[in-house]
Amino acid sequence: MITLQNVRKDYLVEKKSITALKKIDLTIERGEVFGIIGHSGAGKSTLIRCINLLEKPTMGSIIVDGQDLTRLSPSQLQTARREIGMIFQHFNLLSSATIYENIAFPLRLSKRSKSEIDKKVRDLLELVGLADHAKKYPAQLSGGQKQRVGIARALANDPKVLLCDEATSALDPMTTQSILKLLSDINKKLGLTIVLITHEMHVIREICDRVGVIDGGEIVELGPVAEVFLNPKQSITQEFVEQVSDFDFPEELLEQYKKMPAPERACHQVVQVSFLGDTTFQPVLFQVLQSLPVQFNILHGTINRIKDTPFGRLVLEITGEPDDARDAVKHLQERGLRVEVLL
């Protein structure tokens, strides 16, 4: 659906060339919710604005639904952009126009008939939960309601792609949750491809299918959200994961085991087990107990969700002969669990 090939973006600042994006190669599949996360200045805003050519790349190709936008004439690009909606952090609504008129604005630019506009605006107001607010002005709405207007306006021309530029960072946590749910519902109902940028990992965890981590103008880590979340490879990714980690294992427990005499400690192994998807609710520990003479003691654990996928972590004490404990770890791994030996 969206392919970026060898995309680079340079800016000239005080006669010096500053590189914002370095050789970005990225493919976003049709119908997926793709997140781009990075710190301020990492290049994420530049990247998302390159997708609809609000920022023209210095080099490289931007292909959206089979069209290379970098090769289009200004009039062709204007037509192509109608299939790429965009919502912004600070809403960008027309303050002197009603909610109805804000949503109708792109439809009027497309020269739709009055009846078409009226039907479309009312359908969109219904979709975003603002059917009773058509005659109000932006100043009369809350931040979350303004963003819903922004979403409705972005959907006015039936785009195939929706770009979200820090769409929830100006909102409180409860409102953020409602906007993310709305975007998820829109993705499912309309089959819309959504690309969002954020500096908040909980946004990625809540709504995205895949994520790209950007740092210094480069994508440094890329993959399904669950995989990146449970097995971050880069230190910056680990930073973001720690933002939302509710797994705070008490280190003093490990210290207690370290103080055991060596012969006794040899029969006590402490491991961290990560599980994802269907294995979350399977009796895996019970199955291992049936096949090996070991005991499990759950020291710490959580179960949560990444989008629609359940995941969790357990810290287990495995008590038994060293060979049996090693076999228990192997059995857990063979059942699709990630096992890290802590002690």
CA dihedral angle for residue 332, residue 333, residue 335, residue 338, rounded to 10 degrees: 100
Tell me the per-residue pLDDT of 173-226, one tens digit each, with 9 for 90 and over: 899 999 999 999 999 999 999 999 999 888 998 999 999 999 999 999 999 998
User: In which element (H, E) is residue 47 found?
Assistant: helix 44-51
Q: What average pLDDT does this structure show over 271-291?
A: 83
Q: What average pLDDT does this structure show over 129-149?
A: 95
**Which residue did the predictor score with more confidence, 49 or 264?**
49
**Which pLDDT score is estimated for 334?**
87
**Which pLDDT score is estimated for 211?**
96
| Mean pLDDT, the chain, whole residue set | 89
**Which pLDDT score is estimated for 245?**
67
User: 190 with 127: CB under 8 angstroms?
Assistant: no
Tell me the per-residue pLDDT of 298-333, one tens digit each, with 9 for 90 and over: 888 877 777 777 787 888 889 988 889 889 999 888
Name all domains of the chain by residue range, CATH numbers in brackets. 2-244 (3.40.50.300), 251-341 (3.30.70.260)
**Which residue did the predictor score with more confidence, 39 or 230?**
39
Neighbours of 115 (CB within 10 A): 8
pTM: predicted TM-score of the whole model, two decimal places: 0.83
Q: Does residue 248 register a pLDDT over 70?
A: no
Q: What average pLDDT does this structure show over 53-81?
A: 93
Question: What is the C-alpha to C-alpha distance for residues 117 and 119, in angstroms, rounded to an integer?
Answer: 6
* DSSP secondary structure letter of residue 133: G
Q: Does residue 154 register a pLDDT over 90?
A: yes
Question: How far, rounded to the nearest angstrom, does the alpha carbon of residue 111 sit from its chain's CA centroid?
Answer: 35
Residue 246 pLDDT level (bands cut at 50, 70, 90): low
